[in-house]
Structure 1
Amino acid sequence: MTPPARATSTLFVCLLALSIAEVATLGLLLLNLAVLHIRPIAQLIGPVHGAVYLAVVMIAVFAPGLRRRDRALGFVPVVGGALAVWRMRRAVAPPTL
């Protein structure tokens, strides 16, 4: 049974946004560590990054219609969400010659 198209597209957009946010928050954390090293920035962005990562994992695990490999990709830190989105996009896209 395939999930409704609207639910799939909503989950796709949500997973895409969260994967971008995950990479962006990690980039901010690393930039802060390398250049500024301001503790309040790390205290603010660190938990946000963790929450975004957990949201990516939860969507990947509980989204209907995802294959096992796509669900497993959601557990990979930083790039897992982007890889899952890429695999979802490849599964939906028509083959090209």
Structure 2
Amino acid sequence: MPPSLRLRTAAIVEPASVILLFTNLATVHWPAIATLLGPLHGCAYLIVIGTTLRESPDTRTRLLALLPAIGGLLTTRRILAAHRSEADIPA
């Protein structure tokens, strides 16, 4: 089964929110931005972990989900590759 829309969305939001948080920190450092993006990043990170646990039985894939900022992208890529390899095997 390919990665769900929930996992794909969280995998994009997670690194984007980190990039925006660090950009804010390096430039204007507005507390309101950090107040908004901090919890957004945390939620995306937890959604990546929870969804990966639900969708993949592979231990390495589950461990990849624990990597902050890039874990979701790596997990999505690995689940998609596993799905494609299963589809190539004739029944």
* TM-score bin, normalised by smaller chain: 0.7 to 0.9
Report the aligned-residue RMSD: 1.6
Distance apart, 1:24 and its partner CA? 0.8
Q: Give aligned pairs, total.
A: 86
Name the TM-score, length of structure 2 as normaliser.
0.83
AA aligned to 1:61 is L
For structure 1, the residue ranges without an aligned partner over 5 or more in a row are 1-7
AA aligned to 1:32 is N
Name the TM-score, length of structure 1 as normaliser.
0.79
Show the 5 A alignment for 1:1-97: 8-9=1-2, 11-63=3-55, 65-94=56-85
Distance apart, 1:62 and its partner CA? 2.2
**Residue 3 (structure 1) aligns with:** none
Write the distance in 2 (CA, Å) between the matches of 1:81 and 1:92: 16
Which structure's relative contact order is higher, taking Cα pairs within 8 Å and 6+ residues apart? 2
Write the distance in 1 (CA, Å) between the matches of 2:69 and 2:39: 14
List per-residue Cα deviations over 1:3-55 (Å, max 9, x = no partner): xxxxx34x433211111000111111011001110011101111111111011
Write the distance in 2 (CA, Å) between the matches of 1:39 and 1:91: 41
